[in-house]
C-alpha cells in the first residue's frame, strides 16, 4: 500500500487521461472520496462510484473529455508526506487567474480555494488542477 494514496490517485487520473482511457480504478479512502466529490462538482470528472474489487473496495472513476481533450489539463500534488504545506485564508491566491483551483483540507472538510477564502478558512493545500 502506498503511504500517500491521494498522490497515487492524482497520478492515476493524470496518466489515464494522457492515454485517453474512459475510466480508471483508484483506492477507496475517505480523503479520495472527498477529493473526487469536489472534482465531480467542479466538472473535472464525469462520475465515480464505489466498487468491491477483491478484498478491498475501490472507486471506479469515469473520466471527462471535452471534444477529445481531457478536462484535467494539469494536476499536481502540493502538500507531500515529508513537506506539508499550510496556508491562511488571507494568503490564498487565485489559481491560473481563476480558471484553475486548489484543493484545500480545512477544519470543515475538503474544499476549493475559493470556498475556503469565502469561509475565511485556511488549511493544508493538497493539490492544484486546471
Q: pLDDT tens digits for 16-30?
A: 999 999 999 999 999
On whether both 80 and 57 belong to a single domain, the answer is no
Indicate the number of domains in the chain. Answer: 2
For 43-72, the pLDDT digits (tens) are 999 999 999 978 899 999 999 999 999 999
What integer pLDDT is reported at residue 2 of this predicted model? Answer: 67
On whether both 79 and 50 belong to a single domain, the answer is no
Residue 1 confidence (pLDDT) above 60: no
Q: What range does the domain containing 11 cover?
A: 5-70
Do the beta carbons of residue 60 and residue 53 sit within 8 Å? no
- Where residue 122 sits, what CATH number does that domain have? 3.30.1490.10
Q: How far does Cα 98 stand from its chain's mean position?
A: 17
On whether both 105 and 91 belong to a single domain, the answer is yes
Domain boundary among the residues 55, 70, 85 is at 70
What integer pLDDT is reported at residue 49 of this predicted model? Answer: 97
On whether both 86 and 56 belong to a single domain, the answer is no
pTM over 0.75: yes
On whether both 82 and 65 belong to a single domain, the answer is no
What integer pLDDT is reported at residue 111 of this predicted model? Answer: 97
On whether both 82 and 42 belong to a single domain, the answer is no
- Where residue 32 sits, what CATH number does that domain have? 3.30.1370.30
On whether both 86 and 32 belong to a single domain, the answer is no
On whether both 9 and 53 belong to a single domain, the answer is yes
The partner residues of 23 in beta bridges, in order of sequence, read 62
On whether both 63 and 20 belong to a single domain, the answer is yes
Give strand ranges (E) for the chain: 23-27, 45-53, 56-63, 65-66, 69-70, 75-77, 86-87, 101-106, 109-112, 123-129
| Average pLDDT score over residue span 1-13 | 89
Amino acid at each position: 500500500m502506498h503511504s500517500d494514496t491521494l498522490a497515487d490517485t492524482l497520478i492515476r487520473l493524470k496518466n489515464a487521461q494522457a492515454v485517453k482511457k474512459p475510466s480508471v480504478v483508484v483506492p477507496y479512502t475517505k480523503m479520495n472520496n472527498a477529493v473526487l466529490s469536489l472534482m465531480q462538482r467542479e466538472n473535472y470528472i464525469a462520475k465515480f462510484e464505489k466498487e468491491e474489487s477483491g478484498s478491498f473496495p475501490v472507486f471506479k472513476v469515469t473520466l471527462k473529455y471535452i471534444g477529445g481533450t481531457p478536462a484535467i489539463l494539469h494536476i499536481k500534488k502540493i502538500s507531500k508526506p515529508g513537506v506539508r504545506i499550510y496556508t491562511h485564508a488571507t494568503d490564498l491566491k487565485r489559481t491560473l487567474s481563476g480558471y484553475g483551483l486548489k484543493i484545500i483540507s480545512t477544519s470543515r472538510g475538503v474544499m476549493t480555494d475559493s470556498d475556503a477564502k469565502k469561509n475565511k478558512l485556511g488549511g493544508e493545500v493538497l493539490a492544484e488542477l486546471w
